[in-house]
Amino acid sequence: MTIESRRRTEGLVFLAAYIASIPAANWLIQHIGTVCPPNSPCLIPVGPGGLMAPSGVLMVGLALVLRDLVQRRLGTAYGLGAILAGTLLSAMLAPASLVVASAVAFLLSELVDFAVFTPLQQRGLVFAVLASSAVGLVADSILFLWLAFGSLNFVTGQIVGKAVMVLATLPAIEWLRRRDDRLGLARS
């Protein structure tokens, strides 16, 4: 397998995982949590002191990282295309009352992530993923809560939950960076 075909294959796997993370987030919110109150999202503990967040925040954090990897493997056009596809999917899967908040928060947070990741990726993959995801997850949390509920009461749990998933991916991102360097797979 050539470097280019391997890069493309891995990029398409990252793209499929990115797209799958969107319905996974919606499913988690409705089905998995330590607490699932009626007519509310299922919640999971994400930090000390009983800090809780909707379980879907884990997949949102993962989506930010996966989109970065799509761009790294397939280029900026695919990265932007993934954002547009993800926005449409997010809008289609969101409950009617949250369609605008879900789609706008997804679109803008992914574009912010893209804008930060793009120039930083040449300075180091791990740093670029961490910085872009941090900016994207804060934007997503603030935008979604404000547009959906007009309140930022639960922003800390949202941010911490997404950050936990991003931080959990960093060892794999470092492994991927080292392997890319060894095999010449990083897109320049």
| 128-143 per-position pLDDT tens digit | 999 999 999 999 999 9
**How is residue 105 written in tokens?**
């928060």
CA dist list (Å): 128 to 20, 115, 120, 123, 166: 23, 11, 5, 7, 12
DSSP state for residue 184 in the 8-state scheme: T
pLDDT attached to residue 158: 94
Distance CA 1, CA 28 (A): 37
**How is residue 119 written in tokens?**
């120039």
Give strand pairing partners of 47.
Answer: 51
Segments making up each domain of the chain, as ranges: 3-181
pLDDT attached to residue 128: 97
Please check whether residue 51 is in contact with residue 128, taking contact to mean a CB–CB distance below 8 angstroms.
no
Please check whether residue 90 is in contact with residue 102, taking contact to mean a CB–CB distance below 8 angstroms.
yes
Confidence tier at 96 by pLDDT (50, 70, 90):
confident
Give strand pairing partners of 53.
Answer: 44
DSSP state for residue 46 in the 8-state scheme: E
CATH number of the 3-181 domain: 1.10.1760
- The pLDDT of residue 166 is above 60: yes
- The pLDDT of residue 146 is above 70: yes
Residue 44 three-state SS: strand
Give strand pairing partners of 44.
Answer: 53
Range of lowest pLDDT (34-43, 100-109, 133-142, 153-162): 34-43
Please check whether residue 140 is in contact with residue 36, taking contact to mean a CB–CB distance below 8 angstroms.
no
**How is residue 4 written in tokens?**
């280019």
Please check whether residue 90 is in contact with residue 100, taking contact to mean a CB–CB distance below 8 angstroms.
no
Neighbouring CB atoms inside 10 A of 165's CB total 21
**How is residue 150 written in tokens?**
């007009």
pTM for this one? 0.93
Distance CA 169, CA 163 (A): 10
Report pLDDT digits (tens) over 19-44: 999 999 988 988 999 999 887 889 99
